[in-house]
Structure 1
Amino acid sequence: MAYIDANLIKNETLLYRGEVTLWALLPWVIWGVILGAITAGLGLLLIPFGYFVIRSNEAGITDRRVIAKTGIIKRDTIEIGLNKVSSLQIKQSIAGRILGYGSLIICDVGASRAPIKYIKDPMAFRRRFFELQEENDVK
């Protein structure tokens, strides 16, 4: 079960989930193959490790807050109420722009920052967040 699903509170609904792209696995595959050729196949262990690192990132928007988690063993989480988020920034490398992924940086009014990497179509996540934030302000 995903972190976000396991941590919803009573009567809270997940409205949007940021998906992690598998394109971010490409550097792990390249380095795994290169090191695998040098180390008699041991470098290939980087590929499943990279997959788990990438899949450990989660971001979602509920009807009450933004929830983000990163990390496999060491976990970093941030949960900010929709009306407390001061900015939602996007960082994309050239490869990220071409392949359609990037990092979300969620900031609250107290200057907490939470970077969530490898989110597929981060612009859609940001657009959906602002739509929900606006709907929440109208209520």
Structure 2
Amino acid sequence: MTGEEIVSEGKIHWFVYIVPIISIIASFFLMATDASVFGFLVLLFGILRLISAFIVRNTTELVITNRRIIAKFGFIRRNTVELLHRNVESLHVSQGVFGRLFRFGTIIVNGTGGVRTPVPDIDHPLEFRRTALRLLDNREQ
């Protein structure tokens, strides 16, 4: 939009690579034993998950502008949610144990009309929410 500026961007955390990397490492140990066929399947699973994590990390966008919150997901099938600041009811952050330790979590953007958009594995979600709420508060003044 004209006059719109990006204030903050959310990035997918590097933790999405952990399960694929552990799977690939485990597959090498399995292939060195009598379970080589199972190890090969685990390796294939790990490689596919690694590719999937790479695609998700590089195609997911979460942006706060001075007018909107924008979330885009997907590579082949693209989903986009754009909410004007006046249509945002709340922002919720959900973090598990690993999320608290490594500073990532799911941000859920609740909009008017029942629009609920979860964005998983965002790096530093509390800071992102703080920035968004500061902008939303400034809009009301």
> Shorter-chain TM-score: what band?
0.7 to 0.9
Structure 1 runs of 4+ off > 6 angstroms?
none
TM-score (norm 2): 0.82
Equivalent residues, number = 130
> What corresponds to 1:5 in structure 2?
none
TM-score (norm 1): 0.83
CA distance 1:35–1:72, change in 2 (3 Å): farther
2:111 matched to 1:108? yes
Aligned to 1:133, what secondary structure does the other structure show?
A: helix
Structure 1 window deviating more from structure 2 (29-38 vs 82-91): it is: 29-38
2:37 matched to 1:34? no
In the TM superposition, what are the counterparts of 1:1-139 in structure 2 within 5 Å? 9-35=1-27, 37=31, 38-39=39-40, 41-46=43-48, 47-138=50-141
Q: CA RMSD in A?
A: 1.8
Cα distance per residue 1:33-61 (max 9 Å; x no partner): 33564117534523233221233221110
CA distance 1:52–1:10, change in 2 (3 Å): same
Cα distance per residue 1:92-124 (max 9 Å; x no partner): 111111110001111111111111111111000
Using the aligned pairs only, state the percent identity.
Answer: 28
Aligned to 1:103, what secondary structure does the other structure show?
A: strand
Q: Distance in 1 between matches of 2:8 and 2:93?
A: 17
Where does structure 1 lack aligned partners over 5 or more consecutive residues? 1-8
More helix by proportion, 1 or 2? Answer: 2
